[in-house]
Chains A and B, each alone.
Chain A
């Protein structure tokens, strides 16, 4: 990379050039599709990952079964709902990147090796660019790594699928998919900010690990949030991480219907607005920082 001192280009990323809203959307859609195809290339990795999710699903399902046999209806879930919670959690783990990853690997590598400077010259909004890529990845992971754990889990355990008439079940499935998309976006907004700390720390792994812990615990991936001690459970259900696993799970299990369903989706949407907004501010500060460094 050339030194910024004798660089003739403007030191700040130029304002995004947009010929209206729709062409921009087309661009981001192309980024998302490209990302989907890119992940779809690694077939062996996909299979081995889905295998691992399935094995973990078995282990955790047995621990839940042991607990729910002692305490049926614990936390408002019956045994079959609890087991569904486990397998759906394994299915969502990769799409919502509850353990981190996705764009983080690329973004952090580009920040530490300086390639990010090239990205900053692109006439796009960085956050929207990476979000599009992450949604494409999540779409692929939902289809590939989401389906197998659910199928195998359904084969060995009695799982609870959306019930009711056709219309009710279809509505639940639709709301669930919307909620998953929101979950990916919440997760993205958090991961994006965590990775951007690399501009200051040079190595974002530490921050990433801390955010991973918070995400694993407060998302409800390991245990439904209603099982936490009551004060903690109350708080945790309103934090952004609840929007990553707990809310989509409850939508699927039809524990959130009517106004509770809207409240759940609203909470996700609210956090998306707040976190993406905060990400914009961090991104602006980071872009200024990269110039000071001289690339």
Chain B
């Protein structure tokens, strides 16, 4: 990779962000070419990725063979949750999902190589092993979302459209922040990578189902603790025109951007703190 002199600080953050994005593009592009070298495997894994994530929907569909509503939500309504949950997790996974392998790199010492290169560590590590096959989940979820929308017969006002678009953007940012925060945690506990799966994949599984079926404390945890409820539950209540049975403030339905901003800031601070406290193995 051609090294480029870092731009002067006085220009502010923007040049540094552009520089980081450029590093991300270069590293991701390299991994993209590498993955396309094994074409059979690339297509099989992409399709496999889509089918794996479709499996969750097949299970939901089988559940609805035996009932017309789950927690008071119909199949198209649950499909709306499913589609938005899968798309946001999938987009976050595509962009920064490789960070969940960070613990491995801390153990084998290869993080040090990243740190001596003149490019943002977060950009390099996020793009590491960039896997286009992860679009499998995004595309599959998008198809289910389209199906849900076609069945829901919603009156698509400007407000609903805006909230849906914001849902997809902010939801991806929230999941992305969880990946970054999880990676920061792996600097401290390199072996505990799997814990974050319970928030990312586990959280996404939870968000596929209506909030009404979960215990109150659990719901409170994903509103005020790790704010996953803002990914799709709360905005979906507005888009689908469902009454709030959780007893939360009404404006929470529109608070996803604020939650996303909060998550991104917290994750950024955690990442910075973890990176600064990182001590190499020294061997």
Chain A residues engaging chain B, CB cutoff 8 angstroms = 42-45, 47-49, 51-52, 55-56, 58-60, 62-63, 65-67, 70-71, 74, 201-207, 209-210, 212-213, 216-217, 222-223, 227-229
Asked whether B209 is an interface residue with its Cβ less than 8 Å from the other chain, the reply is yes
In whole Å, how far is A201's beta carbon from the nearest beta carbon of chain B? 6
Q: Are B45 and A209 in contact (CB under 8 A)?
A: yes
Q: Could you tell me how many residues of chain B have their Cβ less than 8 Å away from some Cβ of chain A?
A: 40
The docked-state distance in angstroms from the alpha carbon of A44 to that of B42 is 32
Contacts of B43 in A (CB 8 A): 206
When A and B form their complex, what is the total count of cross-chain residue pairs whose Cβ atoms lie within 8 Å?
115
Q: Are B59 and A222 in contact (CB under 8 A)?
A: yes
- Which one of B58, B66, B194 contacts A45 once the chains associate, using CB atoms below 8 Å? B194
Q: Which B residue sits closest to A55, measured CB to CB?
A: B198
Q: Are B215 and A62 in contact (CB under 8 A)?
A: yes
Q: Are B191 and A48 in contact (CB under 8 A)?
A: yes
In whole Å, how far is A213's beta carbon from the nearest beta carbon of chain B? 5
Q: Which A residue sits closest to B69, measured CB to CB?
A: A70
Q: Are A202 and B192 in contact (CB under 8 A)?
A: no
The docked-state distance in angstroms from the alpha carbon of A72 to that of B195 is 34
Q: Are B192 and A45 in contact (CB under 8 A)?
A: yes
Q: Which A residue sits closest to B56, measured CB to CB?
A: A222
Contacts of B59 in A (CB 8 A): 222-223
* Also in contact, A59 and B52, with CB within 8 A (given A67-B66, A67-B70): no
Chain B residues engaging chain A, CB cutoff 8 angstroms = 38, 40-45, 48-49, 51-52, 55-56, 58-59, 62-63, 65-67, 69-71, 189-195, 197-198, 202, 205-206, 209, 213-215, 218
Q: Are B192 and A55 in contact (CB under 8 A)?
A: no
Contacts of B189 in A (CB 8 A): 44, 48
- Which one of A55, A59, A74, A204 contacts B66 once the chains associate, using CB atoms below 8 Å? A74
Contacts of B44 in A (CB 8 A): 205-207, 209-210
Q: Are A227 and B202 in contact (CB under 8 A)?
A: no
Q: Are A59 and B194 in contact (CB under 8 A)?
A: no
Q: Are B209 and A203 in contact (CB under 8 A)?
A: no
Q: Are A209 and B48 in contact (CB under 8 A)?
A: yes
Contacts of A209 in B (CB 8 A): 44-45, 48-49, 51-52
Contacts of A70 in B (CB 8 A): 66-67, 69-70
Q: Which A residue sits closest to B70, measured CB to CB?
A: A66
In whole Å, how far is A13's beta carbon from the nearest beta carbon of chain B? 27
Most buried by A among B38, B45, B198: B198
Q: Are B194 and A52 in contact (CB under 8 A)?
A: yes
Contacts of A67 in B (CB 8 A): 63, 66-67, 70
* Also in contact, A59 and B58, with CB within 8 A (given A52-B195, A210-B48, A216-B52): no
The docked-state distance in angstroms from the alpha carbon of A212 to that of B206 is 21
Q: Are A48 and B192 in contact (CB under 8 A)?
A: yes
What are 18 A-B pairs at a CB distance below 8 A? A43-B191, A45-B191, A45-B193, A48-B191, A52-B198, A63-B213, A66-B213, A67-B63, A67-B70, A203-B40, A205-B45, A206-B42, A209-B45, A209-B48, A210-B48, A213-B52, A227-B65, A227-B66
